Amino acid sequence: MTATDTTELRFTLNGTAMTRQVPTSRVLSDLLREDLALKGTNVACGRTVCGACTVLIDGVPRAACSTFAFEIEGAEVLTVEGLEGPDGLDPVQQAFARLSAFQCGFCTPGMILLVRALLDEVPDPDTETIRAHISSNICRCTGYGLILEAVKLASDIRSGKAAALPHKEART
């Protein structure tokens, strides 16, 4: 295998089936950001340390910076751009927006996807479970307090214990 070898990839990205010819050396974050113009997948460390580039592959959080594109063959990939549905923002996005659980926002797309995966697995996580789960992702701004609250609020929105934001309010 050489750096110029290519492979044909079939995968589903944010609900849309795709086929792409990509170099075998291409990393997923470059495929998303450079080839598909999905800039919500942020890259900082580039070596599986910070979590800024987290995406979901078949529902599992993965660092896109250190995942080869060919690894998503046949998989369903979800990025932050795919979270909003016909009914509006995902409850996790709503909770982060309502509580302003971010400052610079650089970690936020990856954090939101990480939280979405947690709530899909554990709908009502306790504080220790949340702490353990989000420990893979670094936030240099918030001190994590509001992020913890946002996870709990997102859980309540999903279960109906808290009201969802009206679509318009959630986007402001």
Instruction: Using the minimum distance from each CB to ligand FES, give the nearer residue, 150 or 161.
Output: 150
- In angstroms, the CA 45 to CA 50 distance is 6
Q: Which residues pair with 10 in a beta bridge?
A: 19
Compute how many residues bind ligand FES; rule: CB under 6 A.
23
Alpha helices, DSSP H, located in 13-162 = 28-30, 91-99, 108-121, 127-134, 145-159
5-13, 97-105, 121-129, 155-163 -> range binding ligand FES (CB under 6 A):
97-105
- Note whether 47 and 20 are within 8 A (CB): no
Quick note: the x/- pattern for ligand FES over 33-62, rule CB under 6 A, is ----------xxxx-xxxxxx---------
**Looking only at residues 74 through 93 of this chain, which bind ligand FES when binding is defined by CB under 6 A?**
none
Quick note: the x/- pattern for ligand FES over 1-40, rule CB under 6 A, is ----------------------------------------
Largest CA-CA distance found in the chain, in angstroms, rounded = 54
Strands (E), 6-141: 6-13, 16-23, 54-57, 60-63, 76-78
Give, in order, the Cα–Cα distances in Å from 138 to each of 65, 73, 117, 134, 143: 15, 28, 17, 8, 10
1-9, 12-20, 139-147, 150-158 -> range binding ligand FES (CB under 6 A):
139-147
Among 22, 38, 65, 80, contact with ligand FES (rule: CB under 6 A): 65
Instruction: Using the minimum distance from each CB to ligand FES, give the nearer residue, 136 or 164.
Output: 136
> Which amino acid is present at 81?
E
Quick note: the x/- pattern for ligand FES over 102-121, rule CB under 6 A, is xxxxxxx-------------
Among 67, 79, 94, 142, contact with ligand FES (rule: CB under 6 A): 142
- Note whether 80 and 52 are within 8 A (CB): no
Residues of this chain that interact with ligand FES (CB under 6 A) are 43-46, 48-53, 63, 65, 102-108, 139-142
